[in-house]
Every structure is written in C-alpha cells, then in structure tokens.
Amino acid sequence: MSGQTLTEKILSRASGKPVTQGDVIEASVDIVAFHDLTGYHVIEVMEKAGMVKVFDQGKIVVAFDHLAPPPDIRSAEIQGNIRKFVKDVKIPNFHDINVGILHELLVEKYAQPGQVIVAADSHTTTSGALGAFAQGMGASDIAAAAITGKTWLVAPSSFKVTLEGKPAKWISGKDVALKLLGDFKAEYFNGKSIEVEVKDPSSFPMDYRATASNMGIEMNADALMFIPDSETVRYVKQMRGYEPKLVTPDNDAKYEDNYTIELDKMEPLVAAPYSVDNVKTVSEVQGTPVDQVYIGSCTNGRLSDFEVAAKIMKGKKVKSRCIAIPASYEMFKEALEKGYINTLFEAGCIITYGTCGPCLGGHFGVAGPGEVIVSTSSRNFRGRMGSNESKTYLSGPAVAAASAVEGKISSPGDVM
Amino acid sequence: MVEGQAMKFGDKIDTDIIIPARYLKYTDPKYLAEHAMEPLDPEFHKKASKGVILVAGKVFGMGSSREQAAMALKAAGVKAVVAESFARIFYRNAINNGLPVITVPNVTKEINEGDMVTVNVETGEVKVNGKVLKGKGITGMALEILNTGSLIDYLKRVSVKSTN
C-alpha cells in the first residue's frame, strides 16, 4: 500500500481509520467557526433543534466581520443575539467588530497543520494556508458540528500543484489562484482536494498562501492546502510564539494528477465579469475605465497587499474611488507602523479595518448600476458587490493599486 | 418521486444569483422565496410557485455557504434541482433543507424549458419526453436526512434515540 497524501493523512486521523478517496466518513473537528451573517442562522438552527450547547467551548471561534460595524438596525440586532449566545454558552474565542475578518483571525491565531476546520462561510478554505483541511458549510451543518464535534464528509481525491521558482515582479498569491482558475476552470476541482508544494518555501510567504487557499472554494475544491514547510514554522512562530507540529504527506503518496506552475514566468492576471474563471492577462483588459477600487477582504487584506499598494501609490493621487481595508487589527496596526496606511491615506484612499464590507455588497462601497470595480476580493459574480448592472474585475493588489492611480485598469509597471 | 415542469438555467449558477447577499439577514422562507434567482429573473418566484423542477448545468450553487440559497429555491416552489454537477456546499444545504438534488450528466441537452419532468429521488432516474435519464440518486444518511425533512429534524431524532 502506498503512502498517504496530506488529505488522506488528516482525514484518517480525524475519522480514526484509514481513509481513501470516495469514503464517506465521520470526522472529528478541531475548530468550528462562524461570523455574524451566518452565525445568527447557526444559532437559530440550534434553537429549533432544542440544543443550544457546544461540544467544546474552546474549539468554537466567533468573529464579527460581514456586518461590522453594523450598517443597519437588523445587523446590530443580529450581532446582539450572537453576543448573548457567546456569553450564555461561555465561548472564550469571541472577536467583536474591532478585531478582524474571521478567516484572517483563523490564520493568525488558531489554525494548525493537520487540523480539520469547518466554518459557516465558504472561504474557510483560507486556513489551508497552514496545512489544515478547512471547509465551509451551511448553517445546519455547522450547528450540527458545533453541537456534536463531528461532521460527515466524502473524502476527496488529492491533486498536487507544485510552485517552482520565485514569483515574477508584481506576482503574488492572487495570480496563482487566478492561474489555476483560468487553466482548469471552475468545475474541474469539484470533489478534489488541492495540495500545494512550494519548492522554495521562502519565495511564497504565508500572505500569498492564504490568498491562494482562500480561492480554493472558487475552484470548487474541497480544500486547498499548502503542504506545511519552513515558511509555516516561521509564520506560526512569528505570530504566536511557538513552533507548530508539521503534518506532511508521505513521500510515496499517490496523487490523482500533478500540475506545475513556474512562478518566474507569470504575468499579472485578472478575472473579468461575471465569472472567477474568466481569466485574462492585464494587457487584455487594460484601459477599461474604473469607478472604484477595493483593496482588502479575507482574500487580499494582509500586510504584503498593503506593502505593494503603498509602493505603487507613494506620492500619487488616486483617480478612481479607492477603499482599502486591512483584514484585521494586527494587519492594520502593522500597516500603520510601516507607513503604508499613511501613504494610502495621502493618495486619497478611504481606510478602515476588520470588515468584509464591499466584498459582498454589504457596506462601505456598494456598487451602483453601470459601475466598474477592480477588487482584490474573491468573487465577481453578477450583483456580488451591489447592482446587477455593475461589473467587477478581480485582481491582485498591484493591479488594483495601479488601476486606482490611473482611473482605469492598468499594469503596475506602467505607473512606476 | 417528484414531478413538475422544467425551468432551465446554464452553467455556474452561483449563490449570489440564487439569493443575493442583501437578503441574508433573514431566514423567513416566504421573504427568501420572493428574491430567489432575482438577478436573472425577478419573476422567478411567480413562475416557480406552481411547483417546478430546476434544470441546470455545471457546479450549480457554487460560491457562498449561505443556506438561504437552498431555502429560497424550495420556498419558491422548486421541487428538485437536476444539474450536471453541484457545488459541494449547496448540495449539502439542499439535503439539509429537504430539497432533492440529482446529478445527471448532460441533462441540459436532454431537457427543454417547460418539459414535464419526473424525478425518482432515490434511484436518480429522470423521466422526460418518453426517455429515462440515469442520474445519481440520494442514498444513505443523506436520504435519511432528506426524508426526515431537514438536518434539524434529523438531529432531534438522533438525539432522542441516543438519550433513550
């Protein structure tokens, strides 16, 4: 018998028996999480089931982000109801509106290599950056997992992606996500788990990994995990002060297929409306007038995103509206200390932190009819950011910042 | 066995189309039904109210985890969704809310808008225009949840069993 992939290894441990592709398993979960917009629904399900209790308070994580700060009375009411639940059930890992976006907090504070993480939000795949098998689920499934500590899964097949070389200039995690979406399209990875090996771990830092894992759900993958390596150790040590135990695939693990991306040969990519897999090079769409740029979200609200945006905007003024939202208190603080926030502010950006806001047409920049948005967030579906007649182009932070400076879709090289 | 006229959609119908985010602050089925599929067809709920079978292409329900997507379709009158493939989260949400979901390869080529369609939820057989299409039915624990009506009711039942 050949060795196990990372997916098989994690699911075998979680279900207590050897797992192969297609097995329907009951897995123990290490973390169950929800936010405000899905959290009230999770609690409603628990109430209807007459089981307002959790299997282990310490393993539940709650963060307010989608409606933070509340844009209307109902949102405030939703948050109030969840605060009461958190207090009644005694959940210590609760993050109110001043801390950050759930997926970012899971990466910064909670996720560990080898864990099974489920949360009531599709972008839970983000924790795959640390080598956790992390899946989004609906409110009922998350309520069941929170009550019982278990969930049922169909074990996916494992597909290996290898990243080679150092990223070309302006290339980051988003471009790798868009490359996979463009090359394979949105359906291909349905029922598969993507395991990414980085040949030179330091060339592809945790920020980039989180972005790529985040968009695993756009590929319809069951999980997108980076195989833990020295970068995983460096990150956890820096953010949390200890070394994580690494869980890695066996050397003779069998993968359904392999795919290699040469990072040094890439050019910046965008996803044009209205599909995440409608991927083009920037040169194919450059010059398109842009009304609003959004730099942030659980996809691209991290320090390196603000670093590159500040590099591009330094000493310039934005020509289109630009909203910049670091994903958490930590990210905002670091961006502030390094001067990135000041640079973006002086360039004319509107800045806050810790909210999903414009990503889902929530608040802080809802798109109007006919408007064109360049966004570093995860989705450009019709009506995602507001009006059904608005259009969203997805890009990495470099293209977004360059487009804000020029007021039209632009290549970062053109503004430097 | 469920029966109804087909309403047909293409590939990659995402959850922002099925129920836009601005309606997610409520879980009232009637409210959700009125906004189902709104970006593509604001009249959808009126057309679906007589009881229809939704026919769609690849990765139906891709995107968000919002359970209201399955709730909205069911409340609008959708009796089953027959698609070439489903996004994982939507598929689970549908089962957990008592909405049958059947995977049938190439189904968009075989069924036209308005065709009368009969779906056997367990075997996955879909009858249309005198033909029988072979799909993937719902079995095992998923079928138990579906037949119980919802995951909530299933949980209640399991919980009662385990305390007896």
Please say which residue of A212, A241, A263 terminates a domain: A263
Based on the fold, state whether residues A283 and A308 are members of the same structural domain: yes
Based on the fold, state whether residues A159 and A239 are members of the same structural domain: yes
| Tokens 């999770």 belong to residue | A42
- What percent of the residues of chain A are helix, what percent strand, and what percent coil, each to the nearest 5? 40, 20, 40
Range(s) of the domain holding residue A183: 6-263
Q: Is residue A89 part of a domain?
A: yes
Nearest by Cα to A5 from A156, A128, A153, A112:
A156
- Chain Cα centroid distance, residue A335: 19
Domain ranges of chain B: 2-139
Tell if the CB–CB gap between B59 and A186 is shorter than 8 Å. Answer: yes
Nearest-neighbour CA in chain A from B116: distance (Å): 28
Based on the fold, state whether residues A204 and A275 are members of the same structural domain: no
Each residue's pLDDT, cut to its tens digit, for chain A (416 residues) gives 679 999 999 999 999 999 999 999 999 999 999 999 999 999 999 999 999 999 999 999 999 999 999 999 999 999 999 999 999 999 999 999 999 999 999 999 999 999 999 999 999 999 999 999 999 999 999 999 999 999 999 999 999 999 999 999 999 999 999 999 999 999 999 999 999 999 999 999 999 999 999 999 999 999 999 999 999 999 999 999 999 999 999 999 999 999 999 999 999 999 999 999 999 999 999 999 999 999 999 999 999 999 999 999 999 999 999 999 999 999 999 999 999 999 999 999 999 999 999 999 999 999 999 999 999 999 999 999 999 999 999 999 999 999 999 999 999 998 98
- Angle at the Cα of A353 from the Cα atoms of A350 and A358, rounded to 5 degrees: 65
Nearest-neighbour CA in chain A from B7: distance (Å): 20
Tell if the CB–CB gap between A49 and B155 is shorter than 8 Å. Answer: yes
Instruction: Spell out which residues of chain B touch residue A49, defining contact as CB-CB under 8 Å.
Output: 152, 155-156, 159
Based on the fold, state whether residues A308 and A359 are members of the same structural domain: yes
Based on the fold, state whether residues A82 and A202 are members of the same structural domain: yes
Round to whole Å and give the CA distance between A174 and A271.
10
Instruction: Spell out which residues of chain A touch residue B57, defining contact as CB-CB under 8 Å.
Output: none
Based on the fold, state whether residues A181 and A70 are members of the same structural domain: yes
Decide if B74 touches A, using CB distance below 8 A.
no
Domain CATH code at residue A177: 3.30.499.10
Q: Is residue A1 part of a domain?
A: no
Based on the fold, state whether residues A116 and A254 are members of the same structural domain: yes
Nearest-neighbour CA in chain A from B112: distance (Å): 23
Based on the fold, state whether residues A293 and A190 are members of the same structural domain: no
Q: Is A138 exposed, middle or buried (0-12, 13-18, 19+ CB in 10 A)?
A: buried
Round to whole Å and give the CA distance between A139 and B109.
34
Q: Does domain B2-139 fall into CATH 3.20.19.10? A: yes
Tell if the CB–CB gap between B96 and A140 is shorter than 8 Å. Answer: yes
- Supply A221's token pair: 């993958």
Based on the fold, state whether residues A343 and A244 are members of the same structural domain: no
Tell if the CB–CB gap between A382 and B39 is shorter than 8 Å. Answer: yes
Tell if the CB–CB gap between B67 and A139 is shorter than 8 Å. Answer: yes
Q: Is residue A321 part of a domain?
A: yes
Instruction: Spell out which residues of chain B touch residue A220, defining contact as CB-CB under 8 Å.
Output: 59, 62, 87-88
Nearest-neighbour CA in chain B from A121: distance (Å): 5
Round to whole Å and give the CA distance between B111 and A387.
32
Decide if B96 touches A, using CB distance below 8 A.
yes
Decide if B65 touches A, using CB distance below 8 A.
yes
Please say which residue of A206, A229, A263 terminates a domain: A263
At B164 the pLDDT is 46
Half-sphere exposure for A212 (CA within 13 Å, toward CB): 30
Instruction: Spell out which residues of chain B touch residue A217, defining contact as CB-CB under 8 Å.
Output: 63
Give the chain A residue nearest B28 (alpha carbons).
A41
Tell if the CB–CB gap between A190 and B159 is shorter than 8 Å. Answer: no
How many CB atoms are located within 10 Å of the residue A231 CB? 21
**Annotated binding residue at A322?**
no
Decide if B92 touches A, using CB distance below 8 A.
yes
Based on the fold, state whether residues A243 and A301 are members of the same structural domain: no
Based on the fold, state whether residues A256 and A324 are members of the same structural domain: no
For the segment B34-43, the average pLDDT, to the nearest whole number, is 97
Q: Is residue A76 part of a domain?
A: yes
Decide if B148 touches A, using CB distance below 8 A.
no
Read off the pTM.
0.97
Nearest-neighbour CA in chain B from A11: distance (Å): 17
**Annotated binding residue at A349?**
no
Give the chain A residue nearest B22 (alpha carbons).
A362
Q: A-B interface: how many C-beta pairs under 8 angstroms?
A: 116
What one-character DSSP code corresponds to residue B50? T
Give the chain B residue nearest A74 (alpha carbons).
B25
Which H or E run includes A45?
helix A36-49
Which of A75, A137, A187 shows the shortest C-beta gap to B59?
A187
Nearest by Cα to A146 from A120, A113, A125:
A120
Q: Is residue A45 part of a domain?
A: yes
- Angle at the Cα of A272 from the Cα atoms of A185 and A193, rounded to 5 degrees: 30
What is the total count of domains within chain A? 2
At A1 the pLDDT is 61
What are the contacts of A9-13 at 24+ separation with CB within 8 A?
A9/A114, A9/A247, A9/A249, A9/A250, A10/A114, A10/A115, A10/A116, A10/A132, A10/A133, A10/A247, A11/A116, A11/A133, A11/A153, A11/A155, A13/A114
Based on the fold, state whether residues A117 and A146 are members of the same structural domain: yes
A-facing residues of B in 112-131 (CB < 8 A) are: none
At A22 the pLDDT is 94
Please say which residue of A263, A291, A313 terminates a domain: A263
Cα separation values, A6 from A12, A228, B66, Å: 10, 10, 28
